[in-house]
Chain A
Amino acid sequence: MSIENFPDAFDSTVDTGLEWLSDNGSGLFDAINDVLKGAYESLLWLFNLTPYYVVAVLIALLGWRLAGLRFAIIALIGMLFCAFIGLWPETMGTLALVVVATLLALLVAIPLGVLAGLLPRLDRIIEPALDLVQTMPPYIYLLPAIALLGYGTGTALLATFVVALPPAFCLTSLGIRMTPNEFIELGNASGVTGWQMFLKIRLPFAMPSIMAGINQSLMMAFGMVVIAGIVGSGGLGETIYSAIRTLDIAKSINGAIAIVILTMVLDRLAQGAATAQEGKRL
């Protein structure tokens, strides 16, 4: 094989590989797509069923409980602003994407993180892999996803899921591993079982780290969901992408403002939940 032919040969190898995957794994990928889309669509249906002012007030009330009155007022004004600039359905679309992708990521990342925290050997395998995931530009994950799941929400969700996975995993594993030794000794000297050691000693100490991981995963998901506009994710990302393509600067800026508002609201809510957790001292 000469060097000139190499790019073509390499391309066709990758093509064959992906083809093989989609041929043999089509059932699996369809299932993944269905689950992702199903979760997203039901949540979106729920959001769209509720009038915008009700959703805004609910978010404000939640904000009041978790982060105080001042934040609640700002959140209310911000959410209503999203509606008044005519981007309410898109905002809800983005919210649903972020929530679904983050929840799915947490569902995998936290139990896995706990296991890795308890089993250093498992951690040594998973952590480098996820470090690699974090090192690469998030954009990359759209490519294999689109090849396997096709253009649309499923791809956006899968890529977002992948990007949201590492922070929650790493910080959960770290939190579980970092239990101060004297408390491990206390547990053992008191005659705890393995399960009690986890629930009563390791988990409480890991909680702040886990909450930080959740918050970071949420923020990563936000970043990805906007980028995923180019694969037809729906929501604000797609609005901005198509507005830029048609040079509709005003609309793209409106979309950006809505994203900023939504990000800040969710970030503060997640932080508020974390502090409330600590303030309660479990």
Chain B
Amino acid sequence: MTTTTSDVNDVLVSCESVWKIFGENSAEAMKAVVERGLTKKQILQDYSCVVGVSGVNLEVRRGEIFCIMGLSGSGKSTLIRLLNKLITPSSGKVRVKGRELSSLSAAELRAVRARQIGMVFQSVALLPHRTVLENTAFGLEVQGVPKAERFKIAEAALVKVGLGDWIKRYPDELSGGMQQRVGLARALAADPEIILMDEPFSALDPLIRRQLQDEFRQLTKELGKSAVFITHDLDEAIRLGDRIAIMKDGMIIQVGTAEDIVLNPADDYVAEFVAGISRLHLVKAKSVMTPVALYKVAHPNVDVSRLPITSPDADLDQVIGLAVVNDRDAIAVAEEGVVCGVITLRDLLRGVQGTANEYAPAAGQPLTEVSS
């Protein structure tokens, strides 16, 4: 995985205490939530309304892939539809590039959807009576781009997803994986900054899925797009996401990088989820290392500068490799030539288990502060 290039201050999409309640009495139910703080269960009983999304706050930054992970019924599909107002929130604010969607006129909203925020669906939704090329050009056609130009752009998008030879075919002549690539090409052809991906790869077989995940990530980074990616598969979220939000019962219960979530699950639910995930490629050296000063106390005779050296962002797999090759039981972690910590075999094994070093710097803190 390439490291994230997103800018913390450059927020493209944001939700501010967004709620969606479905049902005939949803307005009253929403009022009851605000005034009396009813739970999901009470709302279902008293108002026969279903809470889809409950008090969600999130920020999607420019250039990142933001995964929303949750099981079916967790509200993730509702949430992604709130981001382009396919579903109107019951309360709260959804902003795209700083503009609140509910304040836009119908024409402005159409323009935002057409130019700034594309969408790819689980069902792909390719129009069966149109060729692959015509399907890919659909968004541009809607915007009124002349035929020759939109076909040129669409063909370029299809080449990007590896379907340059298929433009004259019809959707039913394509395999599931290829159809989903057309869906992606269609979203890319309109050149939006943000792409909403609604479980696009869920129906594909595992091999094709992994291939498409890698291609999608590479393409998104190459083109400098931002994406919100919905999935029920934690492995997929970890492979793709710069940051991951975990959803349950309409609420986001944790947001963070894959490493954050695996090392510091917010509650038992998340912990159970991440239990089966391999840490080897997730946990970084800096999270499991022991500060140099502490290491020296326990091992006064070891010369830290003569240990094999690895970088703070190396993953456990690399560190293990280094330890095995050099046949050593300790590895130094160095940044720009300064040793900032040491990983012992104990640290390594705990890392594989998914436990961070209790003395390691917290995420975002400078590494050297600990070593001094």
Contact = CB atoms under 8 A, between A and B. Distances in A.
B279 interface: no
B121 A191 contact: no
B125 A191 contact: no
B125 A192 contact: no
A61 to B, nearest CB: 27
A191 B113 contact: yes
A190 B127 contact: no
The size bracket of the interface on B is 20 to 34
A188 B121 CA distance: 12
Contacts of A186: 119, 121, 125, 138
A182 B118 CA distance: 15
Contacts of B128: 281
Interface string B180-211: 00000000001000001000000000000000
Nearest to B124: A182
B345 interface: no
B190 A190 contact: yes
A38 to B, nearest CB: 38
A162 B121 CA distance: 44
B318 interface: no
A53 interface: no
Given A188-B86, A190-B138, A200-B141, A182 B125 contact: yes
A185 B127 CA distance: 12
Contacts of B322: none
A201 B109 CA distance: 19
A182 B127 contact: no
A20 to B, nearest CB: 47
A152 interface: no
Given A186-B119, A190-B190, 11 more contacts: A182-B121, A186-B121, A187-B142, A188-B86, A188-B113, A189-B86, A189-B113, A189-B196, A191-B115, A196-B142, A282-B129
Interface of A: 180, 182-183, 185-193, 196, 200-201, 204, 281-282
24 contacts: A180-B125, A182-B121, A182-B125, A185-B119, A185-B125, A186-B121, A188-B113, A189-B86, A189-B119, A189-B196, A190-B113, A191-B109, A191-B114, A191-B115, A191-B142, A193-B110, A196-B142, A200-B127, A200-B142, A204-B127, A204-B129, A281-B128, A281-B129, A281-B170
List the 8 closest A-B pairs by CB distance, nearest first.
Answer: A191-B114, A191-B113, A281-B129, A191-B110, A189-B119, A186-B125, A182-B125, A182-B123
